[in-house]
Structure 1
Amino acid sequence: MLVFISANEGSAQTANQAQLTREQAPSAFPSTVPPSGAEGGNVAAAPGDADLGEQQILKRVEGYQPFTISAGAPFYWTSNVALTRSGEQSDFVVAPTVAAFYEPRITSTLYGLVDVREQLFYYDRFDNFNFGSFDVEVGLRYLVPQWHNLLLRVDYDYNRLTEKNSFAAFFQNHAFIIDASVPFQLDRAQTLTLGVFANISAAAEESGQPPNINAISAQRSDYGTYLSYSAALTRSFFINAVGTVVVRQYYEGGRDDISEILALTANYRVNKYLTLSAVSTLAASQSNQSVFDYQVANLGGAVALQVKF
């Protein structure tokens, strides 16, 4: 049986489990194109790469298309549904996603971003864990060519975690994300990217908390670094590996976690609209409150559709 730590922590742990699940789940969308180096001093974030560490330096093309509509469906086996230290239970998860992106080119090195995303998580056996994640994001990307194509990203993100089969929120978060990454072009087909980020929660609201009680909260800020390797093996087949180390500082309860995450993907682009992927994520987390330690593996695939205009 899956249980939480105690009754007064149940709501917060549900919100925290959902946050970690969506952040560590396999990505719904691969990179827009096989990885390439910066050309012409232009950059844009790959649509759908919502998680830090997956931005791509893209080629400049004539007739820039700022709008992207995407739909994808990761499907995977997870080894630890509730992200618990012991008594792990596995399950099969399907997490369909729809998203719309607008990335206006402001100057040759400055791009805007406005996107809206909705992802639903459906569990096979433990359907009480079903939830939705709705995001609205606004930000800027700035390329500094003279500094080895340093890519700077600043975003505001509103995230709303919703109950299954409902848009009713059990957790809402307002965050500011700062990210800096430097690509190293190994050759025409391979890129190594090193980056750092901060994801700072400015405000959060959690349902189910007892009134006037300093209950354990799921609100936190994250600080981390990542190393990404991308390779285009053919014109249609490309792979990506991202290793991330992140410190998670919770606002209440005196809790601090350190997490290590490895994400691996192999992508086959059937045509300019359809991409098929094999996906996996491996994660381990250590907390100063050992009851929150856990390990999890997610293995599966993904189908993604994308239209640009």
Structure 2
Amino acid sequence: MMSIFAPASFAQGPTSQDVDRAQLLQGQTQPPFGPSVTPGGIEDGRAAASPNDADIGQQEILKRVTGYQPFTASLACPIFYTSNVALTRSGELSDVVIAPMAGVFYDPRITNTLYGHFGAREQVFYYGQYHSFDFGSLDAEAGLSYVLPQFHNLILRGEYDFNRLTFGDRLGDEFFSNHELIFNVELPFRFSRAQQLSVGGDTNISVGADHQRPRRNDYEGYLGYSVNLTRAFTINAVGRVVARDYHQNGRTDVSEILSATATYRLTNWWSVSAISSFAHNDSNQDVFDYNVANVGGAIALSAKF
């Protein structure tokens, strides 16, 4: 999808390819910090995670709760192989990526079916060989989640997200920032205490950005399945189709993304995961077509209080 660039390539501002790469990796490597809302937040003394959580990272379908704890502080470090560093149509280059992340969140329970969400997270992506691709991503977010038990436990979410992309770990060296409104609807189907199928859709609307060329709106549908094989071991699989409408140059992309995660919880605060994903992108401008596969592992530490 994109050509190899050196830092000097940003001299006239970021290209859409630069931002696409950052947003694709960020979306597929962030563990689900923050709440997983179910009717009342608790079911049978446990809380259930949503397949709409990030594709790569710590995930679990069931986790024990002794009382609602609104604060979360988390550290995670995915390490993975990527088959197409620059998301190019041909001449792909592969590399290993290390992507440490830190996040803090406050998720107040306003009523039994309404939750707030406030959070901040920072993630830095370090490439093993192609260091000019290193970047950091800072997110500040606020939103609400609402459950409708009378409609098969339908979940509605709305969120504001500010995203700031920087060169490597140089937090003051920004190359793109974006203000986004995110709307999600999800319908869960619980087959048993250990299995859940979820159908949902997302709309991500960019309401402001410092560069217009990479700016876009995303419209997504997804199907997710989660199974808890033991009390500590969970498998998740998610399929997504995303239409990406760019604000300039008449560009429209359609992406199909498949991901799978297997997570083993060592303690209440420590988990390890095997992670994988595959993405295929079709654009009305052929130069932006690409395929990319990611596979690796992640470790996550999380404290709730």
* Interval of TM-score (by shorter of Structure 1 and Structure 2): 0.7 to 0.9
Measure the CA separation in 2 of the matches of 1:86 and 1:116. 36
Matched, 1:143 2:139: no
| Amino acid in structure 2 at the alignment position of 1:193 | S
| Amino acid in structure 1 at the alignment position of 2:192 | D
| Amino acid in structure 2 at the alignment position of 1:197 | D
Partner of 1:195: 200
Measure the CA separation in 1 of the matches of 2:163 and 2:132. 21
Offset at 1:8? 9.3
Q: Write out per-residue CA displacement over residues 110-153 of structure 1, whole angstroms, 9 at most, x where no aligned residue.
A: 00000100000000000100000000000000000000000000
Measure the CA separation in 2 of the matches of 1:55 and 1:278. 11
| Amino acid in structure 2 at the alignment position of 1:183 | P
Offset at 1:188? 2.0
Measure the CA separation in 2 of the matches of 1:188 and 1:134. 36
Partner of 1:235: 231
Partner of 1:169: 174
Matched, 1:222 2:242: no
Give the secondary structure class of the aligned counterpart of 1:11: coil
Partner of 2:29: 26
Aligned pair in 2 of structure 1 residues 55, 108: CA closer, same or farther (>3 Å)?
Answer: farther
Measure the CA separation in 1 of the matches of 2:14 and 2:265. 41
Contiguous gaps of at least 5 residues in structure 2: none
Measure the CA separation in 2 of the matches of 1:124 and 1:224. 31
1:28-107 matches, within 5 Å, as 28-29=31-32, 39=43, 49=53, 61-107=65-111
Partner of 1:258: 254
Offset at 1:186? 1.5
Measure the CA separation in 2 of the matches of 1:287 and 1:275. 37
Q: 1:204 aligns with which of 209, 219, 235?
A: 209
Partner of 2:276: 280
Question: Does the 8 Å contact 1:139/1:155 carry over to 2?
Answer: yes
Q: Write out per-residue CA displacement over residues 151-197 of structure 1, whole angstroms, 9 at most, x where no aligned residue.
A: 00000000000111311210000000000000001122110000011
Q: Write out per-residue CA displacement over residues 93-126 of structure 1, whole angstroms, 9 at most, x where no aligned residue.
A: 0000000110000001000000100000000000
Contiguous gaps of at least 5 residues in structure 1: 207-215
Give the secondary structure class of the aligned counterpart of 1:266: strand
Give the secondary structure class of the aligned counterpart of 2:14: helix
Partner of 1:125: 129
Aligned pair in 2 of structure 1 residues 259, 2: CA closer, same or farther (>3 Å)?
Answer: closer
Question: Does the 8 Å contact 1:28/1:73 carry over to 2?
Answer: no
Question: Does the 8 Å contact 1:262/1:283 carry over to 2?
Answer: yes
Aligned pair in 2 of structure 1 residues 175, 43: CA closer, same or farther (>3 Å)?
Answer: farther
Measure the CA separation in 1 of the matches of 2:20 and 2:197. 32
| Amino acid in structure 1 at the alignment position of 2:208 | A
Give the secondary structure class of the aligned counterpart of 2:169: coil
Offset at 1:49? 3.7
Aligned pair in 2 of structure 1 residues 59, 301: CA closer, same or farther (>3 Å)?
Answer: closer
Measure the CA separation in 1 of the matches of 2:82 and 2:24. 13
| Amino acid in structure 1 at the alignment position of 2:194 | A
Offset at 1:20? 2.3
Offset at 1:39? 2.5
Measure the CA separation in 2 of the matches of 1:80 and 1:203. 29
Offset at 1:19? 2.0
Give the secondary structure class of the aligned counterpart of 1:19: helix
Aligned pair in 2 of structure 1 residues 17, 66: CA closer, same or farther (>3 Å)?
Answer: same
Give the secondary structure class of the aligned counterpart of 1:218: coil
Aligned pair in 2 of structure 1 residues 198, 41: CA closer, same or farther (>3 Å)?
Answer: farther
Partner of 1:210: none
Work out the number of aligned pairs and report it.
295
Offset at 1:58? 6.9
Question: Does the 8 Å contact 1:200/1:220 carry over to 2?
Answer: yes
Partner of 2:160: 156
Q: Write out per-residue CA displacement over residues 13-68 of structure 1, whole angstroms, 9 at most, x where no aligned residue.
A: 32232222322x334458989x999638997877x94579x998878955310000
Question: Does the 8 Å contact 1:73/1:97 carry over to 2?
Answer: yes
